[in-house]
Chains A and B, each alone.
Chain A
């Protein structure tokens, strides 16, 4: 009943505020958006699209978000209605149904003080220590429900403080979060004859206090531990960070250091002693953690170079030690690898390892002229003991003949430690070589055809890491082909097939999709038939293991 009450109050407030303020002659502004997805689930046991409530008996499922934002007299008011009906977004194996006000806020600037009450989306620094955010395709919505105050100390310096509890669909987690940051800006002013430089320093702190019920549950579990594994519990955990962006001419250097005080977290790889004398894997540990990140980039003319480095240890920061997978995250730590867009190049993703990871990434982009462009990316990720987790070498070129065609081609080499990333004990590290080609041909100003293809070869040992045994090929080799015909400004028609050309696990299966999208004004409708293999899906830097899908998808997007 709580969310219905909240929703009713929110709607009444929004409408009455709008009515009253408009009536007084203020300049009001309403905007909003709709995002709606519908799925028809069609059982296909061959690909594993089966045995969930949606495939068994529900047959249909979907979700929608309807967002309203209203501005008048310095007030910003927002309200969002969320609907989940037999949705598989929260848990791909189960069905989730719920509806209500998923978000509301009231924001007002009073002099130099900015006040926000309600659902707060914000971050400190890059967000790797604290970020409350939303990723709809994975149903991550970590808004804090509380109060945020932000004060402008000067034109270049701001201080903010916030407190609240984290959202859990239409409920809230019990632990309380409080935090704040101080951020500023210095620059040389860039006067004549002097080189321009700027500094954007900042510091932040976040405290999470566990509630009594959560601590009591922890205590109950820890009481069962043998003396050698016995640890204590803290109610409070603190995280601090300091960050800075230095810009000198064409060079930008970002650096961030975060520290998290001792807290209890579950380590699935820690050895636990049992009362019968045996040992098993997985137990709570109570330790502090850190994250160090630096990014150095250079951009001049047609050349752009970025070098990233990151190391973290025991930096799993969640609202509750009982939260799992993508639930209850308090920070946003993206993969330290390229976000690929082509289907097969994006099949294996380096999910950040919060408990221990050391990663470097180099990204180079060079535009020779208006026709030719080249890029390179290399990512190397190890755990803290030096074991290989992920390797990626990627290079591409594109040639553009203005108003006629664009050709893009390249190759990607990957090593993906599936044992660690997907906790598949009998798996290994997949090593792939994936050449790709993308061709866009413009028949006229309105009509164009885009064809893309990739071939993923899994039988290589390009890193030389496999010695004296067969390479691990997971599903085997794949080929992907997609054609997309667009008739601007309304229609896009597409069809694709992903084929397990050298199958290892299953029979050779065609994973084909086809559909169309229609756009008119700010409305977009898309209808497609999708057959999709299981795999890790990353959206906005967050990843999870998704089961196979077979069925029909309808998407509607609108903005006003």
Chain B
């Protein structure tokens, strides 16, 4: 009996002791992306969400490493995330929008925020489009390695006197796109100072950046075409009035963002994304 126990113990330690050494993976430094495809990070956040500044910081890091023209980010506050995204009693602004509500429900509700989609693509073998910040970098890296299937060009023309904004959009197919495509376009604003919960503290003057203000197209995008052929061009102009400046809606802080998605077989993949400032005085 004693021998059996000793043998079992020996087997245990042999199993564990001989297999403890491993060759760890290399962590190479960031290289400039090789592809032409940009990414759009559609982030869902909240002013009473203690972890949400982590999402902002991750976006800032990714934009620092790859460039804010390659990594386009828009932060949205939805009603469905309840008290996490509701303004505090002393907040200046309510960042929640109907567009955010429609989009988060279209992408699939996450178990918590911050959560974001990166080009509306899940990881291989997974179905969820929205993921927490620690998964964004891998998705961004993979997407930036790809070639863009379409080109998207946004030309904003803003009149500061009338506050009228016209956005001329041009989409060019860079290969044959067999399924239907949609254009998604909206306005976002930087530099809004307001309250934010960060961990266990409340920051009185937190700078809220790339906050979705409104959608220009339908919340779920406008139809472009049932299919696109290589070289085919699609253009459209959108005109709207920017609301009066009231602490927010500051024209020089507003950018228009746009992306084209491919919609068939339950896919929502973004093909290309871009952004442009509406006004530079």
Contacts and interface: CB of A to CB of B under 8 A. Distances in A.
Given A234-B24, A425-B197, A425-B202, A547 B48 contact: no
Contacts of B199: 268-269, 281, 423, 425
A382 interface: no
A53 B109 contact: yes
B215 to A, nearest CB: 19
Contacts, number: 170
A424 B110 contact: no
Interface stretch (A221-229, A388-396, A490-498): A221-229
A278 B57 contact: yes
Contact of A223 (B27, B110, B125, B136): B27
A419 B198 CA distance: 11
A223 B202 contact: no
B80 A154 contact: no
Contacts of A180: 12, 15
A51 B4 contact: no
Contact of A278 (B60, B79, B136): B60
A495 to B, nearest CB: 28
A216 B197 contact: no
Given A219-B25, A224-B62, A424-B50, A274 B111 contact: no
Interface residues of A, number: 63
A238 interface: yes
Contacts of B110: 91, 93-94
A498 B60 CA distance: 45
A157 interface: yes
Contacts of B83: 48
Given A182-B12, A274-B61, A425-B197, A217 B27 contact: no
Interface residues of B, number: 62
Given A232-B24, A325-B111, A420 B200 contact: yes
B8 interface: yes
Contacts of A470: none
A15 to B, nearest CB: 32
Contact of A221 (B50, B60, B135): B135
A448 interface: no
A174 to B, nearest CB: 8
Interface in B67-120: 79-83, 88, 101, 105, 108-112
B30 A223 contact: yes
Contacts of A282: 51, 54, 57, 133
B16 A217 contact: no
B28 interface: yes
Nearest to A181: B12
Nearest to A171: B125
A154 B54 contact: no
A93 to B, nearest CB: 5
B264 interface: no
A322 interface: yes
B197 A275 contact: no
A217 B135 contact: yes
Interface string A404-432: 00000000000000011001111000000
A420 B50 CA distance: 10
Contact of B27 (A93, A222, A234): A222
B201 interface: yes
Contact of B105 (A53, A174, A234): A53
A223 B66 CA distance: 12
B24 A235 contact: yes
A324 B16 contact: no
Interface in A414-473: 419-420, 423-426
Contacts of A184: 5
Interface in B165-216: 197-202
Contacts of A281: 51, 53-54, 198-199
A550 B37 CA distance: 46
B64 interface: yes
B82 A51 contact: yes
Interface string B125-157: 100000011111110011000000000000000
Contacts of A52: 80, 109
B244 interface: no
A425 B54 CA distance: 14
Contacts of A91: 109-111
A207 interface: yes
A292 interface: no
B82 A547 contact: yes
Contacts of A95: 109
A207 B123 contact: no
B8 A182 contact: yes
A238 B141 CA distance: 30
Given A52-B109, A53-B109, A425-B199, A153 B5 contact: yes
Nearest to A420: B200
B25 A215 contact: yes
Interface in B195-240: 197-202
Among A218, A232, A233, A280, residue most surrounded by chain B Cβ atoms (within 10 Å): A280
Interface in A211-269: 213, 215-224, 230, 232-236, 238, 240, 266, 268-269
Given A93-B81, A153-B8, A281-B199, A324 B64 contact: no
Interface in A178-229: 180, 182, 184, 203, 205, 207, 213, 215-224
Given A51-B82, A93-B81, A425-B199, A220 B12 contact: no
B22 interface: yes
Contacts of B79: 51
B124 interface: yes
B134 A205 contact: no
Given A93-B81, A240-B16, A325-B112, 4 more contacts: A94-B111, A157-B4, A217-B135, A278-B60
List 5 tightest A-B contacts by C-beta distance, closest first.
Answer: A425-B197, A220-B138, A280-B57, A94-B109, A275-B64
Interface of A: 48, 51-53, 56, 90-91, 93-95, 153-154, 157, 159, 174, 180, 182, 184, 203, 205, 207, 213, 215-224, 230, 232-236, 238, 240, 266, 268-269, 272, 274-276, 278, 280-282, 284, 321-322, 324-325, 419-420, 423-426, 547
Interface of B: 1, 4-5, 8-9, 12, 15-16, 19-20, 22, 24-30, 48, 50-51, 53-54, 56-58, 60-62, 64-65, 79-83, 88, 101, 105, 108-112, 123-125, 132-138, 141-142, 197-202
8 contacts: A93-B81, A157-B4, A223-B141, A236-B22, A325-B112, A425-B198, A426-B197, A426-B202
